Amino acid sequence: MIIKLDLSKLTDEEAKHVWEVVQRDFNLRKKEEDRLGELKTKIEKEDTKRELLHQTPLTESYCIRCLKPFKFLVINKVQCLDCALSVCKSCSHYSKKEQGWVCHPCHMTRVLKIGTLEWYHENVRARFKRFGSAKVMRSLFKRLNGEPSGSESELRGE
């Protein structure tokens, strides 16, 4: 079933308002994309650092992140639920749900997985050629620039 996108009944003022809303949506998506890109870069740096340090015998006596020595009652050693490496409490988050500790890099990885929703976007992209806001932008752009409105196939996103 093909749903037609008909914006021809909008007044110029309504069309302009919808255009601005969709522009804000694109800007917010870009900011979120940039934030997640920075987070991905931080995770990659941490992974490299952990990979190098994990090969040394220091990991049992020192925090893998801050390299502070573990001391009884002063700097407690906890094990990350995800990577199973030893970290201090200041370099980790406590997960109430799982009742355990997660190191900062693994926590960032979890946040990235939630924030990107890659599994969802891959599924949506496979089913649709263009997202709804892209169809709206294309139609409004032509209208606001005085071009004649598109054909039915354009409105359907083909």
- Do the domain assignments include residue 86? yes
- Do the domain assignments include residue 90? yes
- Do the domain assignments include residue 128? yes
pLDDT averaged over 10-residue windows placed end to end, the chain, 158 residues: 72 87 88 84 81 70 84 83 88 91 88 74 64 68 64 43
For residue 67, the enclosing domain spans 12-140
Phi-psi region of 141 (alpha: psi -120 to 50; beta: other; left: phi over 0): alpha
The letter for the amino acid at 104 is: H
Q: How many domains does the chain have?
A: 1
For residue 77, give the CATH number of its domain.
3.30.40.10
- Do the domain assignments include residue 78? yes
* pTM (predicted TM-score): 0.53
- Do the domain assignments include residue 148? no
- Do the domain assignments include residue 149? no
